[in-house]
Amino acid sequence: MRKMLDAIAKAAANDLTSLAAHPEKLGPDTGIYPHSVAPLDAGLLMMARDDQAKFLVNVAPGKTGLDGDFSGETVEDAGLAARKIPLIHDNALALRGKFAWTAPVSLRERQTTIGCGDRLGLASAGHLRALGKYRAAPVLAQQSIRELTLTNREYPDVVDSAAFLVFQEGWQSGYGADGDHLKTLADIDRAIDAGMTMITLDQTEVMHAEAENYSAAQVESEFARLPGTVKDHILNTYAAKSFSFAGAEITLSDLEARRCALMYLDACDFTKTVYEHLKQCRGSAFDLELSIDETTAPTLPAHHLFIVRELELRGVELSSLAPRFIGDFQKGIDYIGDLTEFEAQFVAHCAIARAHGNYKVSVHSGSDKFSVFPLIGKHTNLRLHLKTAGTSWLEALRVIAACEPALFRELFDAAEHGYPEALKLYHITADFSKVPPLAAMSDAELGNYLELDESRQLLHISYGVLLQNKALAPRFFAAMHTHEDSYGDFLDRHFCRHLETLGVPKL
C-alpha cells in the first residue's frame, strides 16, 4: 500500500483530483485500473490489485477526507491518507450508494441485450470490453438457482462481483442482472432482494406439459371440466381461428386451442401474479422474461401466440420471451439441426413478438451458435436477448490450458472422473469416447480440448465438480488472478465474434 501511495503522490504532484481526468499518469506498474479512477469527496476512489487480490482504494489529502461509508485498513504516507477497501458486500453497497451507475438497471428499452453470465465473478471486465464496441447492452450478473448451488454463491455475491467490475471498467451506460430460470416467488424474492433487475420466469413447473401428448378424447374430457366462461372465451377466441402477421399465418385448430388452454392457462395466471409482484417491488424498473425453453418439445408458434395473447389479456408486459426452438441448442457448441426448418419457425416466433408489444425474442443456451446467428440477427431485427453463460467458463479454461498446463491437466482429469454426476443436471449428447486421452496430448495441444465439441461439453458441464473441489478451486482462482489480462483478451475476442456474427452494428 505504501508503495502505491508513493506512486499516487508522485503522479498527483499536489493535485490529487486531477488524476481522475488523467489516470494514465499512474502508470501500469501501480496495479491501479485506470478506468476506475473517480473523484470521491475531496479525494479519489479506484480499483487496484496486488499479487493476491483486488481491492478498492480511497485516497485523500488527509485522514478526515476519507469516505466513512467504506470499511478497511487506513494508511498514511507521502502526505496522503488511503483506505484499502476489501471487496465485501457492505463495501459493494457503499459503492452503489456513491456511484449509482454501478447498480443494475432495467434494459427494457434497449434493442439488443446479451446475457453474459459470469459464474466465476471474474468475466464481466472482458464482457464489457467486447460490448463497449457494439450497439448492445450487457446483462452481466446472471445465475439460476442451479448455478448458485454448483458455484457455492448467493445472489448478493453475483451482483456485487458485477458491480465491482463495472466500477473497475468505468462502465456508466447501464447493465442488467438476471435471476435466471426462477420458478417460485420465494426464489424471485431472493433475486430482487439482491438488487437484480431482470427475472427470468421458468414456467416448466406451472405449465401442464403432459397435455401436449393427450389424445383428442383426453383433451376433450379435460377441457370439459374448465369453467363455462373460460371454455367460451377459449373457443370464441382461438378455436379454428387464423391469425395473420407480416411473414406468418398461424391457425389454431379446435383441438389445439383446447390443448393450449389445458397446457398454459395456469402458467399464465402465475405469470400475472409474478408480474404484479415485480411491479409492487420495483415500480417499472424491471425486466420480466418468460421462459418456456426447458420443455421436452419445441414451442410451436401457435402455442407461443396463445400464451402472449393470454398474457396481454391479463395486462402482463414482457420484456422478452424464450421459446424452445426446433433443433438442438446444446451448451457451448454450435446449433444441431436443419437450418431451413429452424428459419421457418423462427420467423413466425419473431412475427408474434413484434405484433404483441415488440418484446425481445430470447435465445437461451445462445453461446457459440454461429451457424444460426446470422438468421437470428436478421429475423429479430436485433430485437433480441441472447443468453450465454458456460462459454465464459470455457474461455477461463482456455486461459488455464494456455498459461498453466499442469493445472489444466489436473482439472481435466477431475472433470473426466466427475462427469457422471454433472450429467444428471445437463442434457447433452456428446460421445465422450471421442475425447482424446490426456496422456496423448502435449502441453501445446491442450487448447484443442476447447475446440472439440465433445471435450467442450465435458468441461462445460463440469464447472460444479471443479469449483467445489477444495484442492483445485483455490489454485484455479489464484491462476485466474495471475492471468487476468489473458482472460479479458480471450473474452473480448470470443464475444466480438458472437456480436459480429449476429450482425450487431459497431458503435
Q: Which residues bind Zn ion (CB under 5 A)?
A: 293, 364
Residue 306's closest CA among 211, 180, 198, 382? 211
Query: CB atoms < 10 A from the CB of 244, how many?
Result: 11
Q: Which own/partner pairs from 223-229 qualify as long-range (CB within 8 Å, at least 24 positions apart)?
A: 223/258, 223/261, 223/262, 226/261, 226/265
Q: Of the candidates 188, 186, 190, 178, which has an alpha carbon nearest to the alpha carbon of residue 139? A: 178
Residue 294 CB, nearest distance to Zn ion (Å)? Answer: 6
Smallest distance, Zn ion to C-beta of residue 363, A:
9
**Class of residue 64 by CB neighbours under 10 A (exposed 0-12, middle 13-18, buried 19+):** exposed
Which residues share a beta bridge with 332?
none
Q: State yes or no: is 77 an active-site residue.
A: no
Catalytic residue chosen out of the listed positions 118, 147, 180, 454: 180
289 is catalytic: yes
Q: To the nearest whole angstrom, how small is the minimum distance from the Cβ of residue 43 to Zn ion?
A: 45
DSSP H or E run through 501: helix 484-502
Q: Output the smallest distance, CB 408 to Zn ion, in A.
A: 29
From 147, 289, 410, 492, the catalytic residue: 289
| Residue 37 or 386 with smaller CB distance to Zn ion | 386
Distance CA 177, CA 143 (A): 9
Query: Which residue minimizes CB distance to Zn ion?
Result: 364
The stretches of 22-154 forming alpha helices (DSSP H) are 89-98, 124-131, 145-151
What is the DSSP annotation of 396-456?
A: HHHHHHHH-HHHHHHHHHHHHHHHHHHHTT------GGGSPPGGG--GGGGGGGGTSHHHH
Nearest distance from C-beta of residue 182 to Zn ion, angstroms: 11
In angstroms, what is the minimal distance from the CB of 211 to Zn ion? 21
> Looking at beta carbons only, is 119 or 364 nearer to Zn ion?
364
What are 192's three cell numbers?
430482487
CB-wise, 31 or 464, nearer to Zn ion?
Answer: 464
Please, which residue, 54 or 364, has the CB nearer to Zn ion? 364
Q: Which residue number, 303 or 364, has a Cβ lying nearer to Zn ion?
A: 364
User: In 10 A of CB 452, how many CB atoms?
Assistant: 15
Give the DSSP letter string of 137-155: EEEEEEEEHHHHHHHT--H
- 82 vs 461, which CB is nearer to Zn ion? 461
Catalytic residues: 180, 289
